[in-house]
Amino acid sequence: MNTPTRLRVRRIALAVNPSKSGADGLAAELEACARERNIETCRVDAFPVPADGLAGFDLCCVLGGDGSILGVVEAAAREGVPVLGFNFGALGFMANFSAEEARSVFPGIIGGKPCTIDQRAVLECRDATGAWAFALNDVVVKTLTPRLARLQVRSGDHDINDYYADGVIIATPTGSTAYNVSAGGPIVHPNARAIVLTPINPHTLSNRAIVLDEETSLRIDLRSGPDEVRISCDGRSIFDTATAFPLHVTTCRDLRFPLIQHDDYSHFHVLRHKLQWTGNAPFRLSR
């Protein structure tokens, strides 16, 4: 369990998604609240935020949805800047504070009230040229045509499998509720120390998702298949496919993504609410 942390806030970055109705208005309210306490604010307009875009800030408020939060992952992880997400999107697994809650939560946090900060695992993906990228949700290798690809996945000296499929997903526990779950992968608690490897539409029905230890280092080789293959981190295309393989994917040991949560945060409540799980009604036998 995380120990509540008291933040010393002097500079705040506001990452505002202007396409979300109401986001600009709430940003103006937060700016006014900060000014009353002589706290500097600065709006960040570039998405994704540049790697050094949060240097010198003590807090980053994201006004948008989970997609907007993905745009600040690398910058926040590099600088260790806690992220407070206000949800203007559809699901809000990470941006889990509502706009209404902002008016009570924000003044408390910048005023020194202790808050709960999750340290979420981040994946590091490197290609054959040494270029790299970070992902909070997942690294995905996927074909762009109806043809299947043959992808060899190894862990160290051990072969995991040769997947004949539309692609593979390597997901963090945080990302297990994203593309991974749509592809039939398991939901993993965000505090679990794990990586999920899930094939996308495998040709062999016995191929299933695998939950691996967080320390696992994966190597992905494209053995055969179409020329059109997309490599993405958190939905953003990365690398030149012609020179990218083999890919190396690991959990980043030096960086974590600091995400502020409700003090009474329950992942199970989030799942029931956001995924609209049923089955909680009393079971009755008809006669």
> Which pLDDT value is given to residue 5?
94
> Which pLDDT value is given to residue 274?
65
Q: How confident is the model at residue 281 (pLDDT cuts 50, 70, 90)?
A: low
Question: Which amino acids are annotated catalytic?
Answer: 66
Clarify whether residues 145 and 210 are in a common domain: yes
Whether residue 91 lies inside any domain: the answer is yes
The CATH number covering residue 212 comes to: 2.60.200.30
Distance, CA of 268 to CA of 94 (rounded, Å): 14
> Which pLDDT value is given to residue 167?
96
Name which of 56, 54, 55 is nearest 69 in CA terms.
Answer: 54
Whether residue 29 lies inside any domain: the answer is yes
What domain range includes position 86? Answer: 11-115+263-274
Percent of the chain with pLDDT over 70: 92
115-165 confidence digits (pLDDT tens):
999 999 999 999 999 999 999 999 999 999 889 999 999 999 999 999 999
Query: DSSP 3-state assignment of 242?
Result: helix
Tokens of 133: 């990228």
pTM for the predicted model, two decimal places: 0.91
Percent of the chain with pLDDT over 90: 77
Averaged pLDDT, 244-273: 87
User: For residue 265, with 0-12 CB atoms within 10 Å meaning exposed, 13-18 middle and 19 or more buried, which class applies?
Assistant: middle
* Residue 217 exposure: Cα atoms within 13 Å on the Cβ side: 8
Clarify whether residues 38 and 145 are in a common domain: no
Distance, CA of 209 to CA of 207 (rounded, Å): 7
Clarify whether residues 185 and 210 are in a common domain: yes
The CATH number covering residue 68 comes to: 3.40.50.10330
Look at residue 2 and tell me whether its pLDDT is greater than 50: yes
What DSSP designation does 282 have?
A: P
Is the omega angle on the peptide bond into residue 4 within 30 degrees of 0, that is, cis? no
Clarify whether residues 129 and 204 are in a common domain: yes
Query: DSSP 3-state assignment of 67?
Result: helix
Averaged pLDDT, 251-255: 95
DSSP 13-55: EEEE-TTSTTHHHHHHHHHHHHHHTT-EEEEE--SSPPTTTTT
Instruction: State the total domains in the chain.
Output: 2
Greatest pairwise CA separation for the chain in angstroms: 69
Clarify whether residues 30 and 143 are in a common domain: no
Look at residue 93 and tell me whether its pLDDT is greater than 90: no
Clarify whether residues 246 and 127 are in a common domain: yes
Clarify whether residues 160 and 222 are in a common domain: yes
CB crowding 62-89: b at 16 or more within 10 Å, else e: bbbbbbbbbbbbbbbbbbebbbbbbbbb
